[in-house]
Amino acid sequence: MYLLPDRDAADEATEAISYHFAANEGPLLVRDAIPQEDGPDGALWLVMVEDPKNRVNVGALDAFIADWDGWRREA
């Protein structure tokens, strides 16, 4: 799972992951907001990348997500 600072970043990252990392049966992407103590304006956006067949290189995806100031968090 990856955390991103805002919805725009999550939307852009999700679209880009689908384009750059998906094969015929690419990873399943799910977006959702995670509320923070400072209210809805400070919400982090969660991008779940489920890859049961291990087709995605995690290191490459980590670097890719970092372009949107995002980071990986273990579930």
How many Cα neighbours within 13 Å face the side chain of 71? 4
Mean pLDDT of the chain: 79
- The pLDDT value recorded for residue 67 is 94
Averaged pLDDT, 4-19: 85
d(CA 12, CA 36) in angstroms, rounded, equals: 21
Averaged pLDDT, 50-63: 86
Domain ranges in the chain are 2-72
Please, what CATH class does the domain formed by 2-72 belong to? alpha beta
- The pLDDT value recorded for residue 23 is 46
pLDDT band (50, 70, 90) for residue 27: low
- Tell which wins on pLDDT, 37 or 23: 37
Averaged pLDDT, 55-59: 87
